[in-house]
């Protein structure tokens, strides 16, 4: 039961800014990265719809699995770019802010790296 409280404390000190609505916002996002990520995600959305259609049409399983791998790699590419942005802006700001902010960011980064590499 103690874990969620500890996680919330870490998130509160992780360096990304808090929005007025209670959500978290990035401290900085390169507009080009944002647009590129949105374009990629729209393309991925189309690929997923294509997968649904392939299954509806009972296409060959190996072809569907190949397309699933393609979607997964496309999502990983978006994740890598967003991770780079997070390091460049949010993490850098938190680490420069001082020991307390830095410690929270280190924990967050370790968690992100672990989750991202699964």
- Rounded to whole angstroms, the Cα distance separating 41 from 50 reads 14
Residue range 27-116 forms a domain whose CATH class is: mainly alpha
pTM over 0.85: no
Q: Is 105 exposed, middle or buried (0-12, 13-18, 19+ CB in 10 A)?
A: buried
> Is the pLDDT higher at 69 or at 28?
69
Residue in the block written with tokens 């039961």: 1
Determine the average pLDDT of the residues in 13-24.
Answer: 51
What is the pLDDT, as a whole number, of residue 30?
Answer: 81
Determine how many CB atoms are found less than 10 A away from the CB of residue 44.
18
Give tens-digit pLDDT for 52-93. 999 999 999 999 999 999 999 999 999 999 999 999 999 999
Q: Could you say which DSSP state residue 14 is in?
A: S
The domain spans of the chain are: 27-116
Report the alpha-carbon angle 107-10-98, nearest 5: 75
> Is the pLDDT higher at 17 or at 104?
104
């Amino acid at each position: 039961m103690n874990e969620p409280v500890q996680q919330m404390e870490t998130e509160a000190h992780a360096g990304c800014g808090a929005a007025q609505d209670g959500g978290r916002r990035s401290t900085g996002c390169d507009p080009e990265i944002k647009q590129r990520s949105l374009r990629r995600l729209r393309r991925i959305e189309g690929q997923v719809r294509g997968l649904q259609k392939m299954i509806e049409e009972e296409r060959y399983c190996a072809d569907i699995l190949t397309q699933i791998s393609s979607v997964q790699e496309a999502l990983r590419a978006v994740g890598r770019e967003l991770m780079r942005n997070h390091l460049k802006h949010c993490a850098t700001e938190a680490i420069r802010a001082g020991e307390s902010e830095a410690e929270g960011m280190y924990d967050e980064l370790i968690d992100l790296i672990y989750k991202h590499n699964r």
